[in-house]
RNA sequence: GAGGGUGUAGCGAAGCUGGUUAUCGCGACGGCCUGUCACGCCGUAGAUCGCGGGUUCGAGUCCCGUCACUCUCGCCA
């Protein structure tokens, strides 16, 4: 098709360009028809330029202008004019000029749009996903997709400059379920056999270490067949990294340096040289989660000792059963009244995490506790006030339960308070490391120990002799990177000793024959001089989401799936015809059709 | 597997304790308008109120079921 190709973009023209004859290609953003004069806001990736068709234009040009609608793709040619002073639009970077049109071509027309392409469309997510191609035209989406590009580019530059190689690993691999369900791909050539899509390049990158590629990274697509969430999709992208001859701190330091560089470059944001480190236990105990949002403090305080001195029997019963009591202080707020209704909403947040209730007491103007359970604290009023450093108008919230439930439920209360009282600084990026994770977790349902993280992580040396005798106590050489309350990376120093690896497998109820069958290729590789190594894998989607100030990773993925694992745009997953099934030696159960 | 929220015109929403003609904005269509920039003004069309059943003289509204979307718990190293 012959058409006039653009000589400039829609975000480019300035006052200096006045007098030039230009061609613009783009989409009709808005049209304003004043009878004798038409204005068109023409949009492309780079911006918006106002083009004008006056009544002195050729009649065919006026005719076409009158027929234009939103999102028609057009080409215009014209002369750049300065706008009269009173008509300058200071909101637009191109607002000092306009293009006086001498010819228009319609390159393609557009059906009535389901929603107007705008910076912040008010369309529901489902509608946006169904018409994703239109949604992606919005400046909001374009900005986020660019941010993602800039982020990945900065990572590649930084790591390449530090002698990392980017190496691709296969996405059709042996199924080695490690935790999540695998996506399986049936083999056509071998009836009954399947490839799996990788949950991560974990084993391949470890083998690359054996091969001597001592600094590796990959922008890797990973797949996990589990239910989606706001911050979780079936497929996602991670920066997969692995290094040889490193110890934990080497990995932490390079990540700190990497994100310092990237945040400076992409966001012009100065992250600290080193990130706060918290042990897993400390994080759980103080913030109630293993991914605390450190943009605000609001710590959980131990209340066991004072609970003993109280007259509240619930507290004493819980303590008697080996549980614990914790308290959090909600600071006085002008925005939110600590009404009965509000306290109930906090209690509901706590109950999601299995707390049986949420006790409370408010501090009155005389520094005395009142309401809620205050009558049981009368005798220790001053001790409680001093311990919690509570001020008039503050409210104390208590949970008494087993340690885990107390921490996680009060942790949820902490997050809700911070949100509701506006204690979160949205311009802040608070990184922290969580270290010293337990290596094993007991699975009650299956009746055996499992890797809390994954089975290739190194136990800390002081626990190696007592792995089998006391698995619950073993801390691993594991680390998570947390940003603003999201787990954004997870890694460990790996096991590179076959015997130690087999011991860990055995503790996880995988006997030698089975581990040889499932992970034999890794164990075999480890027979040939494996180097000590470790790595980490930051999640690209989540990090970009946080950098963009969004709460759903769908906002930073061009074509995401919805929470039902469906893509409303292409309607996947879909049925396939029987010939395809035959080739793959598959039969679908009748009742599933 | 479980819980909360939502479902009304192409899109986004209003619609109270059930009441007869279901409302508003955007968009679409027709007309007017030479300076707007979310242009403005006049007019028109467009809705099995997610679906199925029930209660009732009467259901968008109440009840039961079901489906879809969404957030969360479980799950996800």
Residue A389 near residue A367, CB atoms below 8 Å = no
Which residue, counting CA atoms, is nearest to the C1' of nucleotide B7? A124
Whether the pLDDT of residue A1 is over 90: the answer is no
Instruction: Write down the mean pLDDT value for chain A.
Output: 94
pLDDT-above-70 percentage for chain A: 99
Closest nucleotide (C1' vs CA) to A348 is B4
Query: Of A276, A248, A579, nearest to A433 (Cα)?
Result: A276
- Distance between CA atoms of A15 and A58, rounded to whole angstroms? 26
Closest nucleotide (C1' vs CA) to A457 is B77
Closest nucleotide (C1' vs CA) to A352 is B73
User: How large is the average pLDDT for residues A269-297?
Assistant: 96
Q: What is the pLDDT of residues A456-465, one digit of tens each?
A: 999 999 999 9
| pLDDT of A117 | 93
Residue A573: asked if its preceding bond is cis (omega within 30°), the reply is yes
pLDDT tier for residue A341 given thresholds of 50, 70 and 90 = confident
Closest nucleotide (C1' vs CA) to A180 is B76
Judge if pTM exceeds 0.80.
yes
A88 phi/psi in degrees, rounded to 5: -70, 135
| pLDDT of A36 | 87
- Distance between CA atoms of A26 and A32, rounded to whole angstroms? 17
The integer distance in angstroms from the CA atom of A417 to the C1' atom of B25 is 35
> Could you give the maximum distance between any two Cα atoms of chain A, in Å?
92
User: How large is the average pLDDT for residues A466-491?
Assistant: 94
Which residue, counting CA atoms, is nearest to the C1' of nucleotide B37? A89
Q: Which tokens go with A127?
A: 């509608």
Residues with Cβ within 8 Å of A112's Cβ and at least 6 positions away in sequence, in order, are A69
| pLDDT of A120 | 67
Which sign, positive or negative, has the C-alpha torsion A582, A586, A590, A592? Answer: negative
Q: What is the pLDDT of residues A376-417, one digit of tens each?
A: 999 999 999 999 999 999 999 999 999 999 999 999 999 999
The integer distance in angstroms from the CA atom of A175 to the C1' atom of B30 is 64
Residue A548 near residue A263, CB atoms below 8 Å = no
Whether the pLDDT of residue A346 is over 70: the answer is yes
Which residue, counting CA atoms, is nearest to the C1' of nucleotide B70? A563
The integer distance in angstroms from the CA atom of A230 to the C1' atom of B71 is 8
Query: Which of helix, strand or coil describes residue A74?
Result: strand
The integer distance in angstroms from the CA atom of A197 to the C1' atom of B74 is 24
The integer distance in angstroms from the CA atom of A22 to the C1' atom of B57 is 72
| pLDDT of A445 | 78
The integer distance in angstroms from the CA atom of A1 to the C1' atom of B62 is 61
Beta-ladder partners of A491: A479, A536
Which residue, counting CA atoms, is nearest to the C1' of nucleotide B41? A34
Closest nucleotide (C1' vs CA) to A54 is B34
| pLDDT of A453 | 85
Which residue, counting CA atoms, is nearest to the C1' of nucleotide B10? A114
Closest nucleotide (C1' vs CA) to A354 is B73
pLDDT tier for residue A224 given thresholds of 50, 70 and 90 = very high
Which residue, counting CA atoms, is nearest to the C1' of nucleotide B34? A36
The integer distance in angstroms from the CA atom of A557 to the C1' atom of B3 is 28
Closest nucleotide (C1' vs CA) to A81 is B35
Residue A233 near residue A553, CB atoms below 8 Å = yes
Closest nucleotide (C1' vs CA) to A232 is B76
Higher-confidence position of A160 and A448: A160
Which residue, counting CA atoms, is nearest to the C1' of nucleotide B32? A35
| pLDDT of A35 | 87
Higher-confidence position of A119 and A353: A353
The integer distance in angstroms from the CA atom of A565 to the C1' atom of B20 is 45
The integer distance in angstroms from the CA atom of A36 to the C1' atom of B32 is 11
pLDDT tier for residue A590 given thresholds of 50, 70 and 90 = low
Whether the pLDDT of residue A444 is over 90: the answer is no
DSSP, res A458: P
Q: What is the pLDDT of residues A347-358, one digit of tens each?
A: 999 999 999 999
**Count of other CB atoms within 10 angstroms of residue A499:** 9
**Count of other CB atoms within 10 angstroms of residue A416:** 17
Q: What is the pLDDT of residues A563-572, one digit of tens each?
A: 999 999 998 9
The integer distance in angstroms from the CA atom of A38 to the C1' atom of B25 is 24
The integer distance in angstroms from the CA atom of A567 to the C1' atom of B48 is 28
Whether the pLDDT of residue A135 is over 60: the answer is yes
The integer distance in angstroms from the CA atom of A10 to the C1' atom of B71 is 39
Closest nucleotide (C1' vs CA) to A122 is B12
User: How large is the average pLDDT for residues A436-460?
Assistant: 89
Which residue, counting CA atoms, is nearest to the C1' of nucleotide B69? A126
* Predicted ipTM > 0.90: yes
Closest nucleotide (C1' vs CA) to A408 is B73
Q: Is residue A113 packed enough to be buried (19+ CB in 10 Å), middle (13-18) or exposed (0-12)?
A: middle
pLDDT tier for residue A19 given thresholds of 50, 70 and 90 = very high
The integer distance in angstroms from the CA atom of A40 to the C1' atom of B68 is 39
Whether the pLDDT of residue A592 is over 70: the answer is no
| pLDDT of A591 | 55
User: How large is the average pLDDT for residues A312-322?
Assistant: 93
The integer distance in angstroms from the CA atom of A138 to the C1' atom of B15 is 32
**Count of other CB atoms within 10 angstroms of residue A569:** 16
Which residue, counting CA atoms, is nearest to the C1' of nucleotide B71? A230
Beta-ladder partners of A30: A41
Nucleotides of B under 7 A from a protein CB: 1, 10-13, 26-29, 32-40, 68-77
Q: What is the pLDDT of residues A545-560, one digit of tens each?
A: 999 999 999 999 999 9
| pLDDT of A252 | 98
Closest nucleotide (C1' vs CA) to A478 is B77
User: How large is the average pLDDT for residues A326-331?
Assistant: 96
pLDDT tier for residue A115 given thresholds of 50, 70 and 90 = very high
The integer distance in angstroms from the CA atom of A13 to the C1' atom of B34 is 24
The integer distance in angstroms from the CA atom of A314 to the C1' atom of B29 is 70
- The CA-based angle A259-A260-A265, given to 5 degrees, is 90
Whether the pLDDT of residue A593 is over 80: the answer is no
Closest nucleotide (C1' vs CA) to A199 is B77
Closest nucleotide (C1' vs CA) to A568 is B69
Q: What is the pLDDT of residues A42-62, one digit of tens each?
A: 999 999 999 999 988 999 999
The integer distance in angstroms from the CA atom of A564 to the C1' atom of B68 is 10
Which residue, counting CA atoms, is nearest to the C1' of nucleotide B35? A87
Residue A235 near residue A124, CB atoms below 8 Å = no
Q: What is the pLDDT of residues A256-271, one digit of tens each?
A: 999 999 999 999 999 9
């Amino acid at each position: 098709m012959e058409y006039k190709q653009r000589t400039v973009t829609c975000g480019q023209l300035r006052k200096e360009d006045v007098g030039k004859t230009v061609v613009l290609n783009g989409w009709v953003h808005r049209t304003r028809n004043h009878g004798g004069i038409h204005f068109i806001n023409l949009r492309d990736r780079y911006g918006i330029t106002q083009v004008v068709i006056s009544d002195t234009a050729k009649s065919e040009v006026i005719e076409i202008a009158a027929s234009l609608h939103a999102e028609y793709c057009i080409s215009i040619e014209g002369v750049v004019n300065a706008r009269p002073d009173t008509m300058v639009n200071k909101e637009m970077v191109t607002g000092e000029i306009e293009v006086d049109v001498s010819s228009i071509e319609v390159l393609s027309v557009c059906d009535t749009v389901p929603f107007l392409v705008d910076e912040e469309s008010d369309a529901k997510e489902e509608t946006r996903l169904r018409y994703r191609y239109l949604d992606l035209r919005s400046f909001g989406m374009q900005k986020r997709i660019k941010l993602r590009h800039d982020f990945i580019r900065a990572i590649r530059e930084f790591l390449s400059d530090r002698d990392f190689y980017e190496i691709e690993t296969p996405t059709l691999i042996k199924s080695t379920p490690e935790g999540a369900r695998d996506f399986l791909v049936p083999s056509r050539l071998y009836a009954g056999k399947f490839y799996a899509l990788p949950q991560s390049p974990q084993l391949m990158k470890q083998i690359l270490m054996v091969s001597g590629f001592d600094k590796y990274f990959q922008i890797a697509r990973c797949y996990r067949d589990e239910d989606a969430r706001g911050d979780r999709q079936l497929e996602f992208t991670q920066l997969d990294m692995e290094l040889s001859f490193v110890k934990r701190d080497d990995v932490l330091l390079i990540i700190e340096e990497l994100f310092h560089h990237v945040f400076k470059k992409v966001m012009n944001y100065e992250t600290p040289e080193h990130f706060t480190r918290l042990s897993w236990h400390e994080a759980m105990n103080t913030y109630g989660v293993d991914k605390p949002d450190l943009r605000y403090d609001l710590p959980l305080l131990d209340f066991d000792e004072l609970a003993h001195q109280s007259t509240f029997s619930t507290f004493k019963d819980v303590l008697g059963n080996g549980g614990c009591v914790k308290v959090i202080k909600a600071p006085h707020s002008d925005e939110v009244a600590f009404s009965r209704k509000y306290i109930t909403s906090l209690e509901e947040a706590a109950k999601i995490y299995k707390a049986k209730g949420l006790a409370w007491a408010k501090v009155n103007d005389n520094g005395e506790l009142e309401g809620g359970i205050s009558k049981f604290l009368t005798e220790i009023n001053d001790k409680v006030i001093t311990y919690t450093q509570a001020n008039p108008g503050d409210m104390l919230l208590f949970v008494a339960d087993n340690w885990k439930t107390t921490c996680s439920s009060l942790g949820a209360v902490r997050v809700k308070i911070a949100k509701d009282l506006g204690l979160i600084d949205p311009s802040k990026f608070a990184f922290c490391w969580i270290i010293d994770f337990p290596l094993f977790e007991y699975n009650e349902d299956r009746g055996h120990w499992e890797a809390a993280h994954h089975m290739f992580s190194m136990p800390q040396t002081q626990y190696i002799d007592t792995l089998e005798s006391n698995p619950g106590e073993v801390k691993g050489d594991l680390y998570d990177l947390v940003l603003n309350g999201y787990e954004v990376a997870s890694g460990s120093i790996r096991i590179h000793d076959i015997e130690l690896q087999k011991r860990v497998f055995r503790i996880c109820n995988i006997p030698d024959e089975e581990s040889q069958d499932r992970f034999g290729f890794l164990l075999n590789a480890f027979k040939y001089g494996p180097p000590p190594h470790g790595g980490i894998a930051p999640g690209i989607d989540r990090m970009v989401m946080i950098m963009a100030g969004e709460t759903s990773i769908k906002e930073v993925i061009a074509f995401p799936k919805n929470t039902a694992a469906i893509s409303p745009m292409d309607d996947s997953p879909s049925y396939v015809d029987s010939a395809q099934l035959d080739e793959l030696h598959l039969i679908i159960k009748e009742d599933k059709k």
